[in-house]
Copies of this chain bind each other. A is one copy, B any other.
Amino acid sequence: MRQAGRYLPEYREIRGRARSFLDFCYTPELAIEATLQPIRRFGFDAAILFSDILVVPDAFGQKVWFAEGEGPRLEPVTTREAFAALKPRIDLEHLQPVFEAIGGVRAALPAQTALFGFCGAPWTVASYMIAGRGTKDLAPARLIAYRDPELFAQLIERLVEGSIDYLSRQFEAGVDAVQIFESFASAIPERHVAAWSDEPIRRIVAGVRARVPGARIIVFSRGAGHRLSWLAAATGADAIGIDWTVDPVRAVREVPATVPTQGNLDPMALVAGGEMLEREVEVILSAFAGRPHIFNLGHGILPETPIAHVERLVAKVRGQV
């Protein structure tokens, strides 16, 4: 999950140095600085590249912008004409600043600190491309998938290829691992989850591994609570990110013991703090004890998160309090 962001005063201070959020992501010195900020402040074991999943549609030539306080906006792709107007391949030249940022972060990071890159999974990215914004239940994307399955399949295919190109270049630029974020798996009818989500992800994983032998890939699928037992096998992932809705005790029972896990504190528990936070953290630590596990939130950190709560969390996970 993104570690930097509005909850950090040092991030809020530099945010205004770029005209737009995308410009910020595409300005290596700013992306580098934002990536390093949480490492300096909290000393996390791994840094997460400061970027956004929507640089991919942007690099396919779709118009993408961020409306202040409202989230992302895109010129929706809902017709075959709009799809035909996209670039046939992802424009890696356009993403050059991202790769530069990766190189810069890697050079600045302590050797023992890992660097994680990422991209959105095809269904999640496609849902933004189709709806032109974040939506409740991803209704516009489901409508296209039902009404014009061929167009939908072509869009997913385009994103699979683009994501392979994009993630492979992230590895070449210096990341140690990548995460593929399926933020909206819960809005896929289960009967279509293999075709719309798991299989496209599996092809990305295989495609990246073919170009970058040994590439380490984490798959996070929000809403995959009922298929934890086979998610790693279905996607080929090295590790599984677990969302905050899942009971850690059940996760441990269902995810094969050889598959490393990541997660899964409710970001809202971190906002709340207090006794409930202590208890939630203890449940996670005790459930995953003795397994390869990356302690993390079960979704992105919220802007209203008090820094003191993050400090407390880090100390607790490190066994310092």
Residues of chain A touching chain B, judged by Cβ–Cβ distance below 8 Å, are 136, 139, 142-143, 146-147, 149, 186-191, 223, 225-226, 244-250, 266, 268-269, 271-274, 276-277, 280, 283, 302
Contact A245 B147 (CB under 8 A): no
User: How many monomers of this chain does the complex have?
Assistant: 2
Contacts of A149 in B (CB 8 A): 276
Contact A186 B223 (CB under 8 A): yes
Contact B245 A277 (CB under 8 A): no
Given contacts A187-B245, A190-B246, A190-B247, 17 further A-B contacts (CB under 8 A): A136-B136, A139-B268, A139-B302, A143-B268, A146-B268, A146-B271, A146-B276, A147-B274, A147-B276, A149-B276, A186-B186, A188-B245, A189-B244, A189-B266, A191-B249, A191-B283, A226-B226
Contacts of A139 in B (CB 8 A): 268, 302
Q: How far is the CA of A302 from the CA of B146 in the complex (A)?
A: 15
Which residue of B is nearest A271, CB measured? B143
Q: How far is the CA of A269 from the CA of B149 in the complex (A)?
A: 12
What's the nearest-Cβ distance from chain B to residue A203, in Å? 22
Contacts of A189 in B (CB 8 A): 244-245, 247, 266
What's the nearest-Cβ distance from chain B to residue A276, in Å? 4
Contacts of A283 in B (CB 8 A): 191
Contacts of A142 in B (CB 8 A): 266, 268
Contacts of A280 in B (CB 8 A): 146
Which residue of B is nearest A138, CB measured? B268
Contacts of A268 in B (CB 8 A): 139, 142-143, 146
What's the nearest-Cβ distance from chain B to residue A259, in Å? 18
Q: How far is the CA of A284 from the CA of B45 in the complex (A)?
A: 48
